Amino acid sequence: MTITSCIMRGAGLIFNIYVANKVGQEAIGVFSLVMSVYTFAITFATSGLGLACTCIVSEEFEKKNYTAGYVAVKTCIKFAIILGLIGCFGLIVLAPVISTVCLNNAVSNMPIYAISLGLPLISVSSVISGYFNSVGKSYKNAFSQSFELFVKIIATIILLCYAIDKGIDVICTCLILGDVISEMFSFGLNIVLYYIDRKKSLQCRSSNLKMVNRIFKISFPVAITSYIRSGLSSLKQFLIPLRLQTAGLNYTLAISKYGLINGMVMPVLMFASFFISSFGTLLIPEYSRLLAGKNFNRIKTVSHKIFDTTFAFSILVSGIFLFFANELSLIIYQSLESASYIRILAPLVIFMYIDTIIDSILKGINSQFGAMCINICDLVMTIAIIYFVVPILGVNGYIFSICASEIFNFIASYFLLKKKIGCGFNILHYCSKPCLGLAISYIISLIIPCIFDNFVLYVIFKISVFCIIYLILFLFWKKKEGFRI
């Protein structure tokens, strides 16, 4: 799953760079605002059903109740179809309001109509994805996602050839349509894979009231808090360019700065998170099984090993962005404009990656409601900072809001996890040696001469030396501690 995610994330990043360089910062900024609407619509259409499917099927299969597990999948799919269709028709009706009020008439209704087409497909696919995660067949998800990305890239490139000279509205519509087309193919493949897998197992009965109640207990609190979180997140995205204008920037510059940071810098920083998200996703059913078996000591042991390795990896990635920001910016975007933002936000990688793991564990131990509440508090705080601070500090205020958001979310999630599993982690213990290894690795990478004249090969060589030295030091220290990864 990690290998596939690596290939997908690499291809996705290269594709995003291609799109950003082709359409420009302003179009990327407007598209990011449209994607905020898309994200909220997806949140409504899925409504925690994928998570409910993962948790219930994991528990039932652990108890050898295979029929009940398939009943859960079937029931979740029914709800997914209903919510997807409601979301689809809701967007069609509200498209004029969204375009005028939320998007400040930056685009017409067409991108919103395009978004609505994919909601029922995404909703059902999320349930099937949850099923494959719960039964340990994540490779099917990986295959489906790879196929989806391939179709998305081909479709978007073809559509952009038509739209590139026709304005931001047509560009955004074509970018959304590329995504919707890929969702159609992914949906078809998921349905085929699911029915092939189900035929090999027990035939399920119709859904029953008890199963509906179980799904409702898991998905309802997640859905409600997700609606609030996604709504606040969309509000935050809409506010950023508006408050940047209040700080003195014109609309074009404000949306360009927003597009640069949110649509170009943040995807680069989150690139390596495919390592984290891959096993983070698998932690949800794993912790569900451990919780069902009341294996609390195992939960603590596994958590310690996960955090030790994740901290080391996160610090390495943070160091790469910190020390090689200029080089990466030149290679990726052919300018130094994003370098300063990459360097400033690099330390946040540690908090973002660790928080991803904590959220996965909390979902696995049925504490997703608490995690959602933390996210909501985080968004309220961030919106307040954007509203009051950004007009005073401008772009620096936006950077401050990102830092405050990630650090708060990390701290609050940590204390919730500590309360739920009865143990936490010593940040100083996990960070001290990796940070020392970071400094040693960078110094050695500067000393070792490079034999390549080509700039790209030079940067790859330096980063490779940096990573190899760091990995050697990490494994050496772990061997001395007698720690098995």
Asked if 106 and 193 sit in the same domain, the reply is: yes
Per-residue pLDDT at 389:
93
Q: Which of 198, 231, 264 is the last residue of a domain?
A: 231
Q: Would you place residue 436 in the very low, low, confident or very high pLDDT band (cuts 50, 70, 90)?
A: very high
150's tokens: 């391939």
How many Å from the N-terminal Cα to the C-terminal Cα in the chain? 18
Under 8 Å between Cβ of 244 and 398: yes
Helix (H, G, I), strand (E, B) or coil at 339: helix
Asked if 223 and 309 sit in the same domain, the reply is: no
What are 177-195's pLDDT values in tens digits? Answer: 999 999 999 999 988 888 8
Does some domain include residue 265?
no
Q: Kindly state the average pLDDT of the residues 225-230.
A: 78
Average pLDDT value for the chain: 84
CA distances from 359 to 379, 409, 444 (A): 16, 10, 36
Per-residue pLDDT at 280:
76
Q: Would you place residue 153 in the very low, low, confident or very high pLDDT band (cuts 50, 70, 90)?
A: confident
**Distance of alpha carbon 107 from the chain centroid:** 25
Rounded CA gap, 91 and 111, in Å? Answer: 10
Per-residue pLDDT at 444:
93
Asked if 225 and 282 sit in the same domain, the reply is: no
Per-residue pLDDT at 205:
47
Under 8 Å between Cβ of 223 and 48: yes
Asked if 67 and 170 sit in the same domain, the reply is: yes
Supply the DSSP symbol for 106: S
Rounded CA gap, 230 and 191, in Å? Answer: 27
Per-residue pLDDT at 485:
44
Per-residue pLDDT at 441:
94
Does some domain include residue 263?
no
354's tokens: 């660790």
Per-residue pLDDT at 430 exceeds 60: yes
Asked if 346 and 408 sit in the same domain, the reply is: yes
Lowest mean pLDDT among 16-30, 105-119, 147-161: 16-30
Supply the DSSP symbol for 271: T
Q: Which amino acid is at 398?
A: Y
Does some domain include residue 48?
yes
CB-CB neighbours of 449 under 10 Å: 6
Asked if 176 and 59 sit in the same domain, the reply is: yes
Query: Any residues with CB less than 8 A from the CB of 419 and at least 6 apart, and which?
Result: none
Per-residue pLDDT at 206 exceeds 60: no
Per-residue pLDDT at 208:
60
Lowest mean pLDDT among 296-300, 318-322, 398-402: 296-300
Asked if 301 and 221 sit in the same domain, the reply is: no
Does some domain include residue 251?
no
The DSSP string of 41-58 is: HHHHHHTTHHHHHHHHHH
Q: Would you place residue 120 in the very low, low, confident or very high pLDDT band (cuts 50, 70, 90)?
A: very high
Asked if 221 and 342 sit in the same domain, the reply is: no
Asked if 28 and 120 sit in the same domain, the reply is: yes
pTM for the structure as a whole? 0.76
Helix, strand, coil distribution of the chain in percent, nearest 5 = 85, 0, 15
Rounded CA gap, 375 and 369, in Å? Answer: 10
Q: Which of 231, 260, 293 is the last residue of a domain?
A: 231
- The residue among 289 and 338 whose pLDDT is bigger is 338
- The residue among 28 and 13 whose pLDDT is bigger is 28
Does some domain include residue 225?
yes
**Distance of alpha carbon 413 from the chain centroid:** 17
CB-CB neighbours of 419 under 10 Å: 11
Which of the given ranges, 39-53, 247-261, 336-350, has the highest pLDDT on average?
Answer: 336-350
**Which of 363, 399, 309 lies closest to 134 in space, CA to CA?**
363
Does some domain include residue 252?
no
Asked if 213 and 289 sit in the same domain, the reply is: no
Does some domain include residue 203?
yes
If residue 185 lies in a helix (H) or strand (E), which one and from where to where? Answer: helix 168-199
Does some domain include residue 243?
no
Q: Which of 181, 205, 231 is the last residue of a domain?
A: 231
Percent of the chain with pLDDT over 70: 93
Per-residue pLDDT at 111 exceeds 60: yes
- The residue among 399 and 164 whose pLDDT is bigger is 399
Q: Kindly state the average pLDDT of the residues 243-261.
A: 87
Burial class (CB in 10 A: 0-12, 13-18, 19+), 73: buried
Rounded CA gap, 271 and 219, in Å? Answer: 29
Domain that holds residue 393: 272-485
Q: Kindly state the average pLDDT of the residues 72-85.
A: 91
Q: Kindly state the average pLDDT of the residues 327-333.
A: 90
CB-CB neighbours of 93 under 10 Å: 9
Asked if 165 and 27 sit in the same domain, the reply is: yes
Which of the given ranges, 67-71, 341-345, 429-433, has the highest pLDDT on average?
Answer: 341-345
Rounded CA gap, 104 and 157, in Å? Answer: 27
Q: Kindly state the average pLDDT of the residues 314-334.
A: 92
Per-residue pLDDT at 4 exceeds 60: yes
What are 287-315's pLDDT values in tens digits? Answer: 877 777 777 788 888 888 888 888 999 99
Asked if 168 and 278 sit in the same domain, the reply is: no
- The residue among 145 and 329 whose pLDDT is bigger is 329
Q: Would you place residue 1 in the very low, low, confident or very high pLDDT band (cuts 50, 70, 90)?
A: low
Query: Any residues with CB less than 8 A from the CB of 411 and at least 6 apart, and which?
Result: none
- The residue among 328 and 138 whose pLDDT is bigger is 328
**Which of 374, 354, 370 lies closest to 303 in space, CA to CA?**
354
* Total domain count, the chain: 2
252's tokens: 């074009």
Per-residue pLDDT at 175:
87
Rounded CA gap, 242 and 247, in Å? Answer: 9
